[in-house]
């Protein structure tokens, strides 16, 4: 860990490390309790209710985190002790989820932690979307003080959760590391190791502040405005609108309905690419501009007919169409005909790369498109 002028918090326990609920045999005087915030209480109860579990409120003392102001200080180090309290039953609940919990803690938006965990889960086949994963992920963003951090870590210990954190402040990261070690919580620091490696490589100390933190002056670059322009362009060109502007697009996506053209377009736009998407509908002529733009900009999307039918049925249901309402839109015969029509369009334009999107996340499809685009 890089040196930091901020003093790190040293955690010690007078009870067994693996159980934060065990009381101190000799409590120190003038103990100040750190009770859970109302926001955390509401979050925890809401999650339990959404999961269909019953909230059990113990009538007696339950574990809480306390700071002992009389604890011995050495070089500005504050000692925290897990102790028990008899008046915290309003906050404590016992919930057993069907999946193993993963807590993601960040002092920023949590984007890095969330995407890192999702990328890692993608390495396990049983965690794919269509199979159901025995894991429950919970994101805690904007955690910028030790009290809130310790409260979350304590709850992670109660649930037997894995803690993954991205904390820019070295003292906060060290506090999380020591608390997890104290209470036997498996943990991973995502941001720390890479930050240290880059700092050593550049010979420059990091700021220790999360992106977007107060006091950080991040100028609006040309890239920022380019992304804003790309998003505005992409929204205006959605679903075949304004075909006369196809020549201005960096990337043009085409395919039958529900192949993910719109979300893929928005994702690429956020990376700074102007994207237009043109739907292929059986019996409807495609705009002439589609065949006049640079063919290396055009990408066809195709999908498995069974998967497409399932997606279209769900879409029809969300629009209020009942199971008895007949529509060619989600009929298998029509789905196959429309995919065959699209295949013929692609065959007549062999320069267009055709990408199979079945089972692919938007990020995966985007990575393929950008690789082909830049090659």
Summarize the confidence of residues 234-240 as an average pLDDT. Answer: 92
DSSP 209-259: --TT-TT------HHHHHHHHHHHHHHHTGGG--GGGGGG-SEEEEESTTS
Q: Does the pLDDT value for residue 99 go beyond 80? A: no
Q: Decide if 231 contacts 269 (C-beta within 8 A).
A: yes
Query: What pLDDT is recorded for position 224?
Result: 83
Q: Does the pLDDT value for residue 1 go beyond 50? A: no
Query: What pLDDT is recorded for position 326?
Result: 52
Mean pLDDT value across the chain: 77
pLDDT class for 288, splitting at 50, 70, 90?
A: very high
Q: Does the pLDDT value for residue 120 go beyond 70? A: yes
First to last CA, the chain: 40
What the chain holds in terms of domains, given with CATH numbers, is: 100-202 (3.40.50), 222-374 (3.40.50)
Q: What is the pTM of this model?
A: 0.57
Query: What pLDDT is recorded for position 44?
Result: 54
Query: What pLDDT is recorded for position 222?
Result: 81
3-state secondary structure (DSSP) of residue 139 = strand
pLDDT class for 196, splitting at 50, 70, 90?
A: very high
DSSP state of 74: B
Residues above pLDDT 90, as percent of the chain: 49
Q: Does the pLDDT value for residue 126 go beyond 80? A: no
Summarize the confidence of residues 47-57 as an average pLDDT. Answer: 45
pLDDT tens digit sequence for 136-180 = 899 999 998 999 999 999 999 999 999 999 999 999 999 999 999
Q: Please give the residue that has the higher pLDDT: either 22 or 183.
A: 183
Q: Decide if 342 contacts 298 (C-beta within 8 A).
A: no
DSSP state of 255: E
Least confident of 88-102, 221-235, 264-278: 88-102
C-alpha torsion angle, residues 119, 267, 281, 325 (rounded to 10): 70
Q: Does the pLDDT value for residue 9 go beyond 60? A: no
Summarize the confidence of residues 1-7 as an average pLDDT. Answer: 43
């Amino acid at each position: 860990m890089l040196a930091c002028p901020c003093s790190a918090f040293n955690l010690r326990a007078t009870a067994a490390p693996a159980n934060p609920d065990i009381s101190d045999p000799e409590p120190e005087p003038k103990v100040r309790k750190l009770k859970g915030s109302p926001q955390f209480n509401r979050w925890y109860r809401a999650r339990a209710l959404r999961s269909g579990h019953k909230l059990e409120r113990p009538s007696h003392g339950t574990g809480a985190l306390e700071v002992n102001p009389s604890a011995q200080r050495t070089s500005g180090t504050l000692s925290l002790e897990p102790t028990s309290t008899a008046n915290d039953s309003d906050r404590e609940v016992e919930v057993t989820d069907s999946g193993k919990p993963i807590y993601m803690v960040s002092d920023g938006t949590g984007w890095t932690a969330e995407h890192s965990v999702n990328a890692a889960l993608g390495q396990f086949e049983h965690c794919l979307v269509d199979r159901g994963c025995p894991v429950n992920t919970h994101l805690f963003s904007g955690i910028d003080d030790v009290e809130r951090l310790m409260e979350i870590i304590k709850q992670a210990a109660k649930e037997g959760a894995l803690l993954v954190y991205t904390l820019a402040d070295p003292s906060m990261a060290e506090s999380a590391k020591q608390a997890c070690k104290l209470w036997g919580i498996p943990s991973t620091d995502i941001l720390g190791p890479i930050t240290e490696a880059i700092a050593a490589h550049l010979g420059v100390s990091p700021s220790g502040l999360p992106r977007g933190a107060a006091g950080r002056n991040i100028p609006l670059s040309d890239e920022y405005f380019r992304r804003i322009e790309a998003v505005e362009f992409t929204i205006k060109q959605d679903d075949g609108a304004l075909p006369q502007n196809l020549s201005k697009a960096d990337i043009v996506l085409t395919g039958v309905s529900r192949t993910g053209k719109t979300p893929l377009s928005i994702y690429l736009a956020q990376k700074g690419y102007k994207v237009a998407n043109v739907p292929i509908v059986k019996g409807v002529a495609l705009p002439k501009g589609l065949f006049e733009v640079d063919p290396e900009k055009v990408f066809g999307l195709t999908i498995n007919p069974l998967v497409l039918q399932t997606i279209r049925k769900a879409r029809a249901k969300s629009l209020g169409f009942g199971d008895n309402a007949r529509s060619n839109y989600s009929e298998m015969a029509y789905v196959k005909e429309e995919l065959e029509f699209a295949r013929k369009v692609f065959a007549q334009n062999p320069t267009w790369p055709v990408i199979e999107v079945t089972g692919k996340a938007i990020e995966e499809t985007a990575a393929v498109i950008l690789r082909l685009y830049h090659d």
